[in-house]
Structure 1
């Protein structure tokens, strides 16, 4: 027997976009009070900060419409779980309210222990936004600049002309360490570290794909090197910096970075499964941080989301730059900032989001800053059960916010992933979903 839990409350919901596996799911049964009153937001320390002057809640966002939406989402998520095999947790907010939270399936398929919204998952590339935040915090402190040369901070690297900004925005041209390390790492029973990535690049000088700033090319190498920059500038391990400067201040008590010792101490980590629900085995690249490696829950990511509406970590002006695209030539609706993808919806709203895929885990986080809305989904069975990007986007972000299209997302045919999405899935190191 499968288990599912969840809750829903107040009104219309946020959105979803992009990436070949976008997530969604959950179940609704026990009613749950709103987590914060309309017109307020929660700081990382739990204190509410009045945002009513900035946030105007529309008239259609009522308790009745919220209840109806919760019922509709409950039906969609139940079908996705039952018919498509979704296994994971979800939390959705709208206008600073938690409108839906819940979990479907198991943290461990063999033990059949029920998932909860406090279950911990590997975030995969959703980790990149924390790496970018660490860089932004050091920049605000005057300890580095976005246009600093990478060679200035990591002098052993044989590459010149690359800046921190280019690493943040995937314009460095550096080759992907997840590819070249396979030939260079001698013992795959031993975890590779960021220091090892630096050493291999210095010794073997893998050819870059192109010269810096020529074009966008999604790069795990860039974010692994950014973690090394944080260590050099801050004078402490990257994991400790995230813990002391971000996770602890925001009371993200179930959030940490990968280490075998840390995983051993935690009893609430979801076991990862690959295609066909095969138990994932440890990967020697798990030890490289910055591009991945943060573990968290949907509840902790909600605290992170709320903190981004405050100045608890960095000034809003700094965040605005992170959410501003950098591509000179691009499609009207797509771009990349600092650790976040950027997309313009048909109705004009701009959302920031990121997806992640790493052996045994698939993740998705989307924010609509205009509406103070968020969608957070974490899964430990990346089986392609939620490749319904356009359908979910139309449902959650209709052209008219007060209207939603009819029809069942769970029984529809998913929109095909674009070539860039397919290529990124491979870069993430995940197992292509059927």
Structure 2
């Protein structure tokens, strides 16, 4: 069978292409660092369609309303912090108001890190979910399988995740039992205090929802025991680095000296708030991040980069034990907003910092707010929610019917 000149030229070009691709695939990387580069995020599994009604002009109008609202909170309510708001995966508004340090007059930026307080809990829960997928633990395992000296029987990992352990708060019993508040207390120290003194639980396990910092501090210890590496190392290696959250880290003594990069915590009267001996306990708090990095985290949760979507769905499902129209999943509160959408969120308050992260999976929107002056200004975020999720006639009617 004869080939024309055009066909021969085509086959030669095709052969050359295969040879070049093969040669390129056989080349060694230029340096060892290329081997350690984190993989790109997995393609989004949960696609969201932008409705035709959400035009560029609508996005601009929404951005203007948010700017007016946050400017009002800053000027009239004393809000000091950073924020980033998204809709349909796109950033529609971000900004920074006020100072990182009032004494030094360092201005804030969206790349300034803040203590996340209880927003840290969702990261701790993710570490547990990752280990569950790896087969290194199960949600219904007893805590004693990982911490043999744990003196309370019948408490499971799932109960720690959903705040149903009934354990007393370590931030209270440590004040009584820790001998020297000038010496930092660690997660291991908390375990020893519990083993030695056995503080009385508030409730028997799995009988009440009772928000528990102790439970999430214990989860950090379980992560260490199950993974075989320190909790801070696990978080950095398995979550922060793969998601390229370059300004996210756990508390250490170095944090205090990171002037400019980390916002200083203040009292409501704008006096500097120094860390104390409890800051070194991790899991329930103790993580630092920026609104920019938290946006990366939000976006990663629409992929399977960290865990399968079925695993994440269980974290957002809740325990079925609602309290004040809210449920609690694995590190997330679950409720409805005015337009009827189900959202997941968490807020935090700790030693001069407040934090807030809300996600709406229906329209892939998020509200991320970090502050270093806990003066109550974040209580006005309900107004931001109303801007993002205004009530409609259908949603109002649905709520009225539900109440009958």
TM-score by length of 1: 0.79
The structure-2 alpha-carbon separation of the partners of 1:229 and 1:47, relative to structure 1 and needing over 3 Å to count, comes to closer
In 1, Cα distance between the equivalents of 2:255 and 2:274?
17
Larger Rg: 2
In 2, Cα distance between the equivalents of 1:359 and 1:330?
27
Q: How many residues align?
A: 358
1:122 to 96, 115, 131: 115
Instruction: Confirm or deny: 8 A CA contact 1:129 1:340 kept in the other structure.
Output: yes
Paired residue for 1:193? 186
In 1, Cα distance between the equivalents of 2:44 and 2:280?
40
Q: Secondary structure of the residue that 1:49 maps to in structure 2? A: coil
Unaligned runs of 5+ in 2: 1-37, 396-404
In 2, Cα distance between the equivalents of 1:50 and 1:200?
45
Offset of residue 157 of structure 1: 1.1
Instruction: Confirm or deny: 8 A CA contact 1:216 1:327 kept in the other structure.
Output: no
Paired residue for 2:354? 362
In 2, Cα distance between the equivalents of 1:265 and 1:282?
13
Paired residue for 2:315? 322
Paired residue for 2:241? 248
In 2, Cα distance between the equivalents of 1:159 and 1:50?
42
Instruction: Out of 262-271 and 236-245, give the one that drifted further.
Output: 262-271
Structure with the largest fraction of helix: 2
Instruction: Confirm or deny: 8 A CA contact 2:44 2:302 kept in the other structure.
Output: no
Instruction: Confirm or deny: 8 A CA contact 2:42 2:305 kept in the other structure.
Output: no
In 1, Cα distance between the equivalents of 2:103 and 2:212?
35
Encode CA deviations 1:137-178: one digit per residue, 9 max, x unaligned.
000000100000011111111100000000000000000001
Paired residue for 1:36? none
1:312 aligns with 2:305: yes
How is 1:1-40 mapped onto 2 (pairs within 5 angstroms)? none
Paired residue for 1:143? 136
Offset of residue 395 of structure 1: 2.3
Instruction: Confirm or deny: 8 A CA contact 2:160 2:216 kept in the other structure.
Output: yes
TM-score by length of 2: 0.85
1:162 to 140, 155, 167: 155
1:96 aligns with 2:98: no
Instruction: Confirm or deny: 8 A CA contact 1:272 1:279 kept in the other structure.
Output: yes
Unaligned runs of 5+ in 1: 1-43, 404-434
Paired residue for 1:38? none
In 1, Cα distance between the equivalents of 2:117 and 2:235?
16
Instruction: Confirm or deny: 8 A CA contact 1:45 1:251 kept in the other structure.
Output: no
1:351 aligns with 2:343: yes
